[in-house]
Chain A
């Protein structure tokens, strides 16, 4: 089918960079590292219930902090609710509104209705659980539910995204990075069957990543290698110019279960990429793209692919072997907890030695490197190696750093 006439994409736009946060610390980190908005879940009503460590006080504080930085907070209310899940929901939505939450992300029509009726200042974003894959669906749902934004299904191709975003009468949001359900979101009950944990109410056990015997009638096909459905993570930095040119309003990073290091690295990487493309108003050179891709992938601990952006997600989009990006877990060495003159106090997370070259990630700055000349332990003793997690050590550093900056191995 030929590309449709686009109504919105005639204006190149700088999209919202939307980052995940599993707790308040990660929400603040994401904002410091350049997220325009953060999405998070409360202790009820959200998928990823194990990631949702936000009390109501945390959400309020996240809103306050976001406001300080000109950022926004979106709250996921994206479970597919059973009857009893509606208890207290109205009051919950009203509290979110009073805290200054910008939007809720929901799939259930009734949740949208409640929000529209009782917390009308909240924007209503249609969750990817609704699997919107075409413009007609987006427009129908917009009209029926008074939506402000629709989150497109991960199954959309770049061509689909271009056509939907370019013609949709409300904002669109697309996933750009992070874990992917191998099945259509919201339509998978493998976890329910295997563990009774409800995937649509935050209990997904990721049974798709387990191993399965495959039979043809009574004959087993799988012998030395079992069948599995584990998807690589999504990473589409190479489509960034196209997404911005298509008028997609928000670009979403997945990963509310991920670490602080993941959040800081990925957000920082995409922040720099988006800013540079926006400044150029044109695609970047191959060299610059390679640089940004390298930076983004420093924080990614799974193999990645471009999902359905090119049309199909085939063999290359799945993981059949032990993931080999484990080096990522070795790279994150610690965070800055204090700085005075040329000395940095660093809370250690991973081992490093004198003589190694380390790199500092500072929000809004290019990464800077230094060589470890000495390590002073928490009791004032000089050490060759820092190898006690959470110990605060002192290093000499030749430039200014800030509290919460991240220090990692140079790679």
Chain B
């Protein structure tokens, strides 16, 4: 079964996402993710699992940070608790979490999503052979490469919509810059900051928290035209981290409709008219082969 997964920053939206075709919601427990997605407090996570299930959706937790030696043990324990509470998936990048998952029999709920590292069917196969639930393909490869990969490996995920995470630094780059220059601005958890390369126009969201400074793409990845090539992908992710709630829902409805075989051309046109101004939407690297 082909499924849609959408990020969720407000648990009040769970019902709405279910009504609009989400098969899975992704939420971020506090202190566990490299993402600007709003974090959900620990005490609300268990309720979130049962609410999502009541709405007929799966729920996954985003735990894609790289954890230091002093952190990995406690994070693994938290993950075990989430698994026992019935979370359907844990999205991770740190192989350290796999040790705990293996020991406790949860490998089949682990989703490997290292953003950039899975660029061939051979590597995707390796990770799936570890017994994982899914592996998320890198957004840096072309449509044809993704398509070919998905015919050879089952269980793949793909971020089809949203701004792409372009870089992650452990350094507090914004804080350091403020310290250097004395410029006055809020660095932490500020969702209003953008970078624009000196000679380019595109604005890239930049977000910093206690663990990382992250830069997102200046465009919103949009895959409506490519969906027919991706029919062997199993899990389609809509990352609404930098999208409005309305835009996320509009995108979700379109992808779900397409997966159900509906003609969504009218909705696509409307979406692009509403959200596609000034080249904001892009097919990313689908048609661009990066060079060495």
Contact = CB atoms under 8 A, between A and B. Distances in A.
Task: Please say whether chains A and B are actual partners in one complex.
Answer: yes
B192 A216 contact: yes
Interface in B81-120: 93-100, 102, 114-117, 119-120
Contacts of B171: 182, 231, 313-314, 317-318
Interface stretch (A154-162, A254-262, A349-357, A360-368): A154-162
Contacts of A225: 180-181
Contacts of A184: 66, 168-170
Interface centre among A137, A163, A217, A226 (most CB of B within 10 A): A137
Contacts of A314: 171-172, 175-176, 179
Given A136-B96, A137-B94, A318-B171, A198 B140 contact: yes
B270 interface: no
B119 A81 contact: yes
Interface in A51-81: 79-81
B99 A315 contact: no
A216 B193 contact: yes
B121 interface: yes
A215 B290 contact: no
Contacts of A308: 170
A245 to B, nearest CB: 17
B116 to A, nearest CB: 6
Given A134-B67, A214-B193, A216-B192, A198 B180 contact: no
B177 interface: yes
Given A135-B69, A315-B176, A194 B290 contact: no
B117 A107 contact: yes
Contact of A82 (B102, B141, B288): B141
Given A201-B290, A229-B173, A140 B96 contact: yes
Contacts of A194: 197, 200
A278 interface: no
A211 B177 CA distance: 12
Interface in A125-173: 129-137, 139-141, 144, 153, 155-157, 159-160, 163-164
Given A157-B68, A182-B171, A82 B145 contact: yes
Contact of A192 (B76, B140, B197): B140
How extensive is the interface on chain A, given as a class? 35 or more
Contacts of B198: 210-213, 226
A222 interface: yes
Contacts of B70: 1, 159-160
A113 interface: yes
Interface centre among A131, A135, A139, A201 (most CB of B within 10 A): A131
Given A144-B130, A215-B203, A313-B170, A186 B193 contact: no
Contact of A136 (B100, B175, B215): B100
B189 interface: no
B20 interface: no
Given A110-B126, A159-B69, A207-B197, A140 B120 contact: no
Nearest to A231: B171
A318 B99 contact: no
Interface in A226-253: 226-227, 229, 231
B195 interface: yes
Contacts of B170: 155, 184, 308, 313
Given A201-B292, A216-B192, A187 B168 contact: yes
B30 interface: no
Given A141-B95, A183-B167, A225-B181, A108 B123 contact: yes
Contacts of A374: none
Contacts of B203: 215
Contacts of A82: 119-120, 141, 145
Contacts of B73: 1
A80 B190 contact: no
Contact of B69 (A49, A81, A160, A221): A160
Interface in B196-254: 196-198, 200, 203, 206, 215, 217-218
B140 A83 contact: no
A192 B285 contact: yes
Contacts of B119: 80-83, 200
B122 interface: yes
B173 to A, nearest CB: 6
Interface centre among B148, B170, B193, B206 (most CB of A within 10 A): B170
Contacts of A315: 175-176, 179-180
A197 B164 CA distance: 17
B72 interface: yes
Given A183-B167, A226-B198, A80 B95 contact: no
Contacts of A207: 197
Contacts of A130: 95, 117
B286 interface: no
Interface of A: 1, 49, 79-83, 85-86, 107-110, 113, 129-137, 139-141, 144, 153, 155-157, 159-160, 163-164, 182-184, 186-190, 192-194, 196-198, 200-203, 207-208, 210-217, 221-222, 225-227, 229, 231, 308, 312-315, 317-318, 320
Given A81-B119, A312-B172, 17 more contacts: A81-B123, A109-B123, A132-B95, A135-B96, A136-B97, A137-B95, A156-B68, A187-B168, A193-B217, A194-B197, A196-B290, A213-B197, A214-B206, A215-B194, A216-B194, A314-B171, A318-B173
4 nearest CB pairs, A to B: A110-B122, A136-B96, A137-B96, A198-B290
13 contacts: A82-B141, A131-B94, A136-B95, A160-B70, A187-B114, A188-B116, A189-B116, A197-B291, A200-B119, A203-B292, A213-B196, A214-B194, A320-B180
